[in-house]
Structure 1
Amino acid sequence: MARRPRRRRLRAMVLTAAVAAGIVTGGSAEAQTPAGSCADGWDVSTIVSGVGNLENLDTDGAGGFYVTGIQDGYLAHVDAAGTFEKLVTGLDHPAGVRVVGRSVYFLTGDGLAEAPGTLRRYDIDTGAVTILLTELSGPNGLLELPDGDLLFATIGISGPATGISRYRPSTGEYTKGWSNLPWTNGLALAPDGKSIYTDNMTLRVFRVPLDNPNNPTVVTGAPNMIALPDDMEATRADQLFVADHIQGAVYQIDPATGTACTIITGLIKPAPLRTPPDGATSVRIARDANTWSLYVTSMDGTLRRLRPPPGIDLTPADPRR
């Protein structure tokens, strides 16, 4: 019972943001017209299913993934053979996850959580969990920068919106509100290495310069008017892939033109369990034999692999990958 008011507030915020987006973007085509399909040639397969409500993922560099289950409160590992194992349980709404060396950084306390959020580190070799930051306001997306710093987005539904914050694991330095762009969610490194992409509850995608984080520019509006863009990943060819929470879709966006198309739909938790937002939550590019594929988590408890058709280069923007 205690969580219902938070769910109602989240639903109201989504609908309000959708209406607002049509106003602030001046009725742009990207914000109001459903994106055309570019699904032809994409091959979709299931890596693991039936594991609760998946929120985020990152590659382990060996064909497997670390994933978070937001409602069931866990950090888990899926190996290259598809074997699923919970590593840490009893977490309060875990969200973004990133693998850095022999550590897995992850966030807890997203917008539906009952308590303030945290940034934590899981040691792959020992299984130890260290809490690095506390009292975070709805943390969600997480990204490692080329210099080793971590950025994390804050939706701020259960507290004040604090934009994007920055944390330096090597020293513990924490810059709260590094960027003041509010209600942010997904984060991706741009191929120039000097900026990031993010989205927020106004249903738009932004480019944020790393050397001027309070001066973001709009890349595009949401491909659908009633949509909630979530986590994202960019390629070296500067194509952006974005998960849509409400439509249960994945979009391909060209940041240079703002145009978008839909590569898959229907990644939605089945009725009667639907309580929006409840669709696709995160996308990540990872190795697939000698090439690259797109991997997608969803609230339907499924981790999927999307193999691209010929001609689509999924080489990730981050050269370290």
Structure 2
Amino acid sequence: MTVLVTGGAGYIGSHMVLSLLEKNFDVVVLDNFSNSSNTSIRRVSEISGRRCELVAGDIRDKELVKKVLMEYEVSDVLHFAGLKAVGESVEKPIEYYENNVGGTLSLCEAMKEVGVKRLVFSSSATVYGDVEKMPIDEDTPTGNPSNPYGRSKLMVEEILKDLVISDSSWSIALLRYFNPVGAHVSGRIGEDPQGIPNNLVPYIAQVAVGRLDFLSIYGHDYPTKDGTGVRDYIHVSDLVEGHLAAMKKISESPGVGVWNLGTGRGVSVLEMIKAFEKTSGRKIPYRFVNRRKGDVAECWANPSKAESDLSWKAKRNICDMVKDTWNWQVKNPNGYS
């Protein structure tokens, strides 16, 4: 059984590849390295003691994808490839639709032509938009995401649902992530954003290690417990385990399933800063700045459906997330470079 991991050199993808190798799957990675480093794959091989195949290329290249699927006799696809920054998507919507929607269309066309019909898609809680009632379960209406990133994810979800309606032999999992953070316990692979991080936790970590002077907090007048944004942070290792559970589920029956992957707990920006200061022993200087376009006030999951259907539940807490992030950052102050 060979698994194709698109975007497998990226943050979540590299942790996924490591877990698959440790569980004795054969793995092939397809990545264009637009926001990743092949160093992550080298380190994954060193940690696991096993190699994966690495193909440099883009999912929008349908003929390349077909070649990879056939050459390596792929049975399952885990689809992580795509652009992922909410703020950037507001500035560059066309790029996000081309990469995230267009790329998935090319991938699915290639899979269809080759006859590979099991797919786990990396979706996002942003598909729910600005929700008034928390927590968010899978029955919460979608259709009004607040930014192009979220809209691109929702478009892909609708495409994949239509695909299953047209051909019931497909088996697809739509996994709506909340906010992945943390790193592998070894500290050898982790999140390495380019430039100023778009996500809170790597931003805090880079300030703590001295790579950046201060943290910008985007908005302090939200209707939340302390005025800052509230999110459901989930450890990347828990997220990976959710994918393994979803892979098993869709291998047993065709159709499409939708699951939230989160902890069910909301943490504010200021609470996360305090947790990081306690773990690192470093003061995190910060400044309040204007809200970012596309951000919502609060967002956290009801993950009970995943627990019921997939026998999956997040096990790691905020202390684990911060500890593993800090371990990665201290050992790799400049990331993979």
TM over 0.5: no
Bigger helix share: 2
TM-score of the two chains, using structure 2 as the length reference: 0.28
TM-score of the two chains, using structure 1 as the length reference: 0.29
Bigger strand share: 1
